[in-house]
Amino acid sequence: MEGYHNPVLLKESVDALAIKPDGVYVDVTFGGGGHSREILSRLNENGRLFAFDQDPDAQQNIIDDPRFVLIQDNFRYISRFLRFYNISKVDGVLGDLGVSSHQFNEAERGFSTRFDADLDMRMNKSDVISAYTVVNTYSEDQLSDVLFQYGELRNARAIAAKVYEERQVEQIITSFRLKEVLRQFLPKAKEHKILAQIFQAIRIEVNQELEVLKEFLFQIPGLLTVDGRLSVISYHSLEDRLVKRFIRNGQFEGEPEKDFYGNIDVPMKNIGKMIVPTKEEIKKNNRARSAKLRVASLKLKN
C-alpha cells in the first residue's frame, strides 16, 4: 500500500462512521486500502467490511482478513453486490471520491497533466470510452458541453472548436499533443489551473463520475440501518454540491419533497459541519488541499 495512495482525512472520515465493533461497513473507494485498514482496526471478530474498486491495480493492496471482501466493480452497483453477499443493511458507508494518488502518478494512465501519455483516463481499464474517444470522436457541441459542465470553463466553446479543427488534420493521441493544441488558451500564470479543469472535465465524462455518484447516493437510504452513517470526501465543487444537496434535499435539483402537512420529507440528516483538512495534513499531502468531508445519518421516521 505504501506509496499507492495517502488517505485523506483518515481519522476524521472513519470517526464519522461512529463504528460499532460488530457492525457491517462498506468502503466504496478501496484504492490503497488506508481507510479500509482503519475501519478493520476498529471492528471485532464479528464485524465485516466490504470494499469496492473497479481498478484492477487495487487488487495488489488486498487485505488478508476473513472479515474483509474486496469487490472489483463500480460502487454504483453497491446494492446489487451486497445482496449477493446476503447483506440488506449496513451500519456505515465511506467514500473517498476522485482519482487516487497511484492513478495520478502512473504516467500511462493519462490522468496527470505532468506526463506525456496516450489519452486514456479510464478508472476501469476495460471500459470502452477513453479520453481519446472524447477528444477525437465527440461532436464539437458535445465536447463543448463536457468542458462547460464538468470543467466549468467559460470559453468551452472556443476550446472545443480548436480541438475539432485540429483533429480534422491529425488525431490527438497524447496528453502533451492536446496541451500543444490548446496552447493559446493556457496563459502562463493560469496554465496549470486551466489544464486541470480541462483534464477534470474529460475524466468525469470518461468515467461518468457524477452519474455514478448520483446512483450511489440514491441507494444509501435503503442500505443504512436506522442510525447508520454516510461519510463522503469530495475534491471539487461538482461532487461536493451533489453530496450536499442530497443530504439536505434528498435529491439533486429543485426543492425537497414535503409531506401532507408541508413538512420537508428527506431521508438523510446532516451530522455536524463540513470538515476540511488541517494545514499540517495539507503540508504533508498536497492532494488534501481541496478535500471536503460531509457526514450524514439516516433520518428516523416519525
> Of all residues in the chain, what percent carry a pLDDT higher than 70?
94
pLDDT interval class at 105 (50, 70, 90) = low
How confident is the model over 25-38, as a mean pLDDT? 96
What pLDDT does residue 109 have?
A: 75
In this prediction, residue 265 carries a pLDDT of 81
Distances (CA, A) of 290 to 103, 225, 234, 257, 287: 17, 30, 8, 31, 7
Which residue's C-alpha cell is 475524466? 203
Tell me how many helices (H) and strands (E) the chain has: 12, 7
Find the helix or strand (DSSP H, E) in which 265 lies: none
Task: Answer for the pair 88, 11: CB distance below 8 angstroms, yes or no.
Answer: no
User: Where, residue-wise, is CATH 3.40.50.150 in the chain?
Assistant: 10-100+209-298
Write the single-letter amino acid at 176: F
What is the pTM for the complete model shown?
0.91
Superfamily of 102-207 according to CATH: Putative methyltransferase TM0872, insert domain (1.10.150.170)
Residue 103 has pLDDT above 80, yes or no: no
Residue 113 has pLDDT above 80, yes or no: no
Selected residue with higher pLDDT from 156 and 102? 156
Q: Where in the chain is the domain with CATH 1.10.150.170?
A: 102-207
Measured in whole angstroms, the distance separating CA 141 from the mean position of its chain's CA atoms is 26
254 vs 10, higher pLDDT: 10
pLDDT at 301: 63
* pLDDT for 127 beyond 70: yes
Write down the CATH superfamily of domain 10-100+209-298.
Answer: Vaccinia Virus protein VP39 (3.40.50.150)
